[in-house]
Structure 1
Amino acid sequence: MGSLATPSSDRRATISLFSRLRTAEGQADPFPIYAELRARGEVSPAPWGGLLVSSYATCEQVLRSGTWLEPDTAWRERQGARTRWSAPSSREISRTLPALNPPEHTRVRRSAGTFDRGSIDQIGRRVSHVVDRLLDTLDERLRAGEADFAALVSEELPVATIGDWLGLPSADWPRLRELTHDQVFTQELLPNASQLARSDAAMAELRTYFLGLVRERRKRPGDDPVSQWIRTWDGLEPDQDKADEAVYFLALFVLLAALETTATLLSTMTLLLVEDPDRWSLLAQQPDLVPSFVEESLRYDPPTHVISRVAAQDTILDGTEVGAGEMVHLLVGAAHRDPARFTDPDSFDPHRNPSHLAFSWGIHYCLGAPLARLEAQTLLRRMITRLPRLTLARRPASAPRVAFRRLLNLDVTLA
């Protein structure tokens, strides 16, 4: 059993669509391109192999079903030594929690714990303090002219939040943020050789950093999460080196998950707020809409536009045969604009309070979703309360990516 062959004309058309996604115009507004792709079929063959899925219902079906798996270490090894999956950064990321499958995923996720109400309340106090400090700096810059919100706030809040929680020295935060941005290419849809090299170098440095951190915490344990994970894994794994490596992968995962996508959420949410004066006025008058504004931001332009899975067995997906081990690319950015799921999907509606796939679904639902929501809602509430209305100075530039969205700047001024 296998997926349908791709006619050369369809292959060229799909390659052309994805080439346009990498342009400045495509990055600024990829959704018309997604609509073109959806018009060619809600499930269609990808020219490089596997399938592209653009409908919400089918994306949700795959994420919820146990018959679809993560492309884990074993799967990547089967792809061969000269593929992107054999890159050192790809092999390393395959050992973090989001890339694991049961039963190992179940074991590691339980060891990680959760952001329960007590943890969120404690972190929330820290987030409020950091937000106030960052907005003070932003306000000061705005009084002198315009300011880059992405650099001053969006990039700073996540690293301060997770860095403080993990007990990482603040002097290390800027470098960890840079490394996080570089490693993401190994998780992109179609990385090139130079991008993979950047990811390889970044991942090697991150490995050295966090293994050193784990060894230091083993010598001087405290009440921080890394010390707690060491105690947990010492009870699960008799080999200390293996236990330390398990803790390393947990700490690495938490950092990567907390920084990249949350920073993008904060920038995208703020762009949606400041580009339309009526939205700022609406939230100022109805602050109870803040949670739904955040959720609509996650639907309208999620931080991650592509989630990939592989078939656990031969199956049929929306009428298309898929062989065991074959990959599907769930185009979440396209699914969130599916007219079969959402009324007027291209309109941003803060009253919508939608369901969405921005945090994935099923057993791989994002562990840090409560923390991302906390940061976004706290920032939004403080902005509309503390600052005069802001306006967009110019349209921001975007990183040339397909799967992981990122605004490179967000220049704002006082209205």
Structure 2
Amino acid sequence: MGVTTVPSSDRRAAVSLFSRLRTAQGQADPFPVYEQLRARGDVSRAPWGGLLVTSFDLCDRIVRGREWLEPDKRWREQQGPGTRWNAPSSREMSSTLPALNPPDHTRVRRAAGAFDRATIERLGRTVSRVTDGLLDSLTERLRSGEADFAALVSEELPIAAIGDWLGLPAADFPRLRELTHDQVFTQELLPSASQLALSDAATAELRVYFMNLVRERRASPGDDPVSRWITTWDAMEPDRDKADEGVYFLALFVLLAALETTSTMLTTTALMLVERPEWWERLAARPELVPGFVEETLRYDAPTHVISRVASDDRTLGDVEVRKDEMVHLMVGAAHRDPARHADPDRFDPLRTPGHLAFSGGIHYCLGAPLARMEAHVMLRGLVARLPRLTLVRRPSWAPRVAFRRIQNLDVALA
């Protein structure tokens, strides 16, 4: 099955759209660009190869479908030594849970376990305690003037929660947070050479950190997930070095997944609230509306705007031919505003029926979704209960990314 070529005029138009996504204006509000991408069709050719999918229905089917695969280690090796897929950080990520396909994915997911009721209850106590302390600090800072909500709350809560669960020293939290921000570039849509270099260096440092942690827990096990993963992997893998590496990849994945997207979700949720003062009083009076507010935030501006898959065989997607191993980029940021799925999709409406792909779907549905939701619920309830309405001091700025959103600052003051 052949690959359809992209007419030069269409290619130039698509390149122009993605160039706009990389500007400060495009980072702050990518949705007009997404609307133009949707106008090109539910499925269109990407100028760099592969396909772009903007339809909610097709994106939903692909993330749930077994015929669509992760770009795993085999696929990345096939792309050639000079491509971004064979950068050291990309090769490292190919062994983490989100980049695995069955049967490897099934085996590792079973080893990872899940956030069961007891774990969520324990984490809930940590999240409540940490949130109270962070809101105390925010309140104190606001008494003197403005405060950066992102720095004081959103960046601190996820690392405190997952760090406490993993049993990591609090002194390590700031550096782990910095490394996570750099590491994510290898998972971007089109990372630059300088961004990949940052990701390569961060990944190498994270490997040293977590491999040392695994060796320490093996020598002195405790009541923590890393120690339990060691026991699980020892039963699965007779080679001690391979078992330790399996535990390392789980710990790395958990840290990266827990920090980056959750921090963005918390900041975006706070931004949605600050921009809509009528909802401040409404949520304070009716805290049962908090979950709907969080779900609508995840639809309206999800932490992840692009999910990538590859075709397991030759097939047709919409009316476009796809060949085996060809990549499709699910533009979920655009799909969440698909008018075929949501009426008046550009309107923020926490009372609408939830529907989003912020946590992906199918066998790759986000392992930490319950924890991320809990952090957002606890933070939002505490915020509206403890503080009067806040107002923006200045517009936020966004990190230079397309796939992984990150608000760098959320400067607020008492209204």
Shorter-chain TM-score bucket reads: over 0.9
Post-superposition CA distance 1:220-279 (Å, at most 9, x none): 000100000000000000000000000000000000000000000000000000012112
Cα separation, 1, equivalents of 2:44 and 2:300: 23
Whole-Å separation in 1 of the counterparts to 2:408 and 2:353? 28
1:158 corresponds to which residue?
158
| Counterpart mapping for 1:141-290 below 5 A | 141-290=141-290
Counting only pairs closer than 5 Å after superposition, residues 95-110 of structure 1 correspond to structure 2 as: 95-110=95-110
For 1:330 and 1:3, locate their aligned partners in 2 and report how far apart those are by CA, in whole Å.
18
Q: Shift in Å at residue 389 of structure 1?
A: 1.3
Q: Distance in 2 between matches of 1:279 and 1:5?
A: 48
In the alignment, which residue of structure 2 is the partner of 1:398? Answer: 398
In the TM superposition, 1:113-128 aligns within 5 A as: 113-128=113-128
Instruction: Classify the secondary structure of the residue corresponding to 1:412.
Output: strand
Unaligned runs of 5+ in 1: none
AA at the equivalent of 1:244: D
- CA drift at 1:5: 1.1
**Quick one: distance in 1 between partners of 2:79 and 2:380?**
44
Given that residues 293 and 353 in structure 1 are in contact (C-alpha distance below 8 angstroms), is that contact kept between their aligned partners in structure 2?
no
* Structure 1 counterpart of 2:131: 131
Give the 3-state SS of the residue equivalent to 2:217 in structure 1: helix
1:133-156 deviations in Å (ceiling 9; x for gaps): 000000000000000000000000
Match of 2:365 in 1: 365
- Identify the residue that residue 349 of structure 1 maps to in structure 2: 349
**Matched residue type, 1:180:** T
Distance (whole Å) between structure 2 residues aligned to residue 2 and residue 249 of structure 1: 37
After superposing on structure 2, the runs of 4+ consecutive aligned residues of structure 1 that deviate more than 2 Å are: none
Distance 1:184 1:119 in 2: 26
Q: In the alignment, which residue of structure 2 is the partner of 1:340?
A: 340
Aligned match of 1:34: 34
| More divergent stretch after superposition (379-388 vs 129-138) | 379-388
CA shift at 1:2, angstroms?
3.4
Distance 2:15 2:208 in 1: 38
Deviation string 1:8-34 (CA, Å, 9 cap, x unpaired) is: 011010000000001111111100100
How far the C-alpha of 1:391 sits from its partner, in A, is 1.3
Count residues with an aligned counterpart: 415
Give the conservation status (yes or no) of the 8 Å contact 1:290–1:381. yes
Distance 2:145 2:355 in 1: 39
- The 3-state SS of whatever aligns with 1:127 is helix
CA distance in 1, matches of 2:171, 2:145: 28
1:329 aligned partner? 329
Compute the displacement of 1:388 (Å).
1.4
The CA deviation at 1:101 is: 0.2
Whole-Å separation in 2 of the counterparts to 1:24 and 1:195: 17
Residue 46 of structure 1 corresponds to 46
Quick one: distance in 1 between partners of 2:365 and 2:354? 17
Per the TM alignment, residue 392 of structure 1 is displaced from its structure 2 partner at its CA by 1.3
SS of the residue aligned with 2:347? coil
Q: Distance in 1 between matches of 2:49 and 2:42?
A: 16
Query: Counterpart of 1:248 in 2: which secondary structure?
Result: helix
Residue of structure 1 in register with 2:320 after alignment = 320
Provide the C-alpha distance between the structure 2 equivalents of 1:388 and 1:60, rounded to a whole number of angstroms.
Answer: 39
- What residue identity is the alignment partner of 2:282? L
Q: Which amino acid aligns with 2:37?
A: L
Is the CA contact (8 Å cut-off) linking 1:295 and 1:353 kept in structure 2?
A: no
Q: Distance in 2 between matches of 1:322 and 1:179?
A: 36
Q: Which amino acid aligns with 2:34?
A: Y
Aligned-residue Cα RMSD (Å) equals 0.6
Q: Quote the offset at 1:350 in angstroms.
A: 1.1
Structure 1 stretch displaced more, 270-279 or 332-341: 270-279
Is the CA contact (8 Å cut-off) linking 1:131 and 1:378 kept in structure 2? yes
Residue 343 of structure 1, CA deviation? 0.7
CA–CA distance in structure 1, aligned partners of residues 181 and 91 of structure 2: 18
> Unaligned stretches of 5+ in structure 2?
none
Structure 1 contact 283–384 (Cα < 8 Å) conserved: yes
> Conserved in 2, the CA contact under 8 Å of 1:188 and 1:401?
yes
Please state how far the C-alpha of 1:395 moved relative to its aligned partner: 1.0
CA distance in 1 between counterparts of 2:128 and 2:12 reads: 50
Q: Post-superposition shift, 1:353?
A: 3.9
TM-score normalized by the length of structure 2: 0.99
Alignment partner of 1:374 is 2:374: yes
Task: Provide the rounded CA distance (Å) in 2 between the counterparts of 1:78 and 1:4.
Answer: 21
Residue of structure 2 equivalent to 1:15: 15
| Overall identity of the aligned pairs, in % | 73
Structure 1 distance, partners of 2:231, 2:129, is: 30
Amino acid at match of 2:356: H
State how far apart, in whole Å, the 2-side matches of 1:284 and 1:267 are. Answer: 19
Tell whether the 8 Å contact from 1:265 to 1:303 is kept in structure 2 after alignment.
Answer: yes
CA separation in 2, counterparts of 1:60 and 1:276? 29
Which residue of structure 2 aligns with residue 388 of structure 1? Answer: 388
Give the Cα separation in 2 of the matches to 1:320 and 1:339. Answer: 21
1:207 is paired with a residue whose SS is helix
Q: Measure the CA separation in 1 of the matches of 2:66 and 2:383.
A: 41
Give TM-score, length-normalised by structure 1: 0.99
Say which SS state the counterpart of residue 297 (structure 1) adopts. helix
Deviation at 1:3, TM superposition (A): 3.6
Question: Alignment partner of 2:366: what SS?
Answer: coil
Alignment of 1:28-107 (within 5 A): 28-107=28-107
Which residue identity lines up with residue 186 of structure 2 in the other structure? Answer: T
Distance in 1 (CA, whole Å) between partners of 2:286 and 2:6 is: 51
Aligned counterparts of 1:229 and 1:79: Cα–Cα separation in 2: 32
Give secondary structure in 2 for the equivalent of 1:413: strand
